[in-house]
Amino acid sequence: MEEKYMVNDILECTKSSLKDYQGAIIETANMELRQTFQNLRNSEESFQYELFKLAESKGYYVPAENANPEEIQKVKNELSN
């Protein structure tokens, strides 16, 4: 399997894991277990970002264009209300 496909597959799996950790965190009443899930999520987020930067640098992943300032302000306003 080509490296590009392996990296993109791992990125997709990592995104799925992050969603699972988030679900577990909001459903967990035990603070020690909740903290464990949060630490795992934080570690997974760091791993995902490093892998994303690698994929981007090799041209395996092309992110969407940046939003313009007007679009950003519109979203900020909508979320503030």
Structure confidence by residue, pLDDT tens digits, 41-70? 999 999 999 999 999 999 998 888 899 999
Domain that holds residue 21: 3-80
The pLDDT value given to residue 64: 86
Structure confidence by residue, pLDDT tens digits, 17-37? 999 999 999 999 999 999 999
Residue 55 contacts residue 11 (beta carbons within 8 Å)? yes
Phi, psi torsion values for 79, nearest 5 degrees: -75, -25
The two structure tokens encoding residue 15? 């995104």
Phi, psi torsion values for 30, nearest 5 degrees: -70, 115
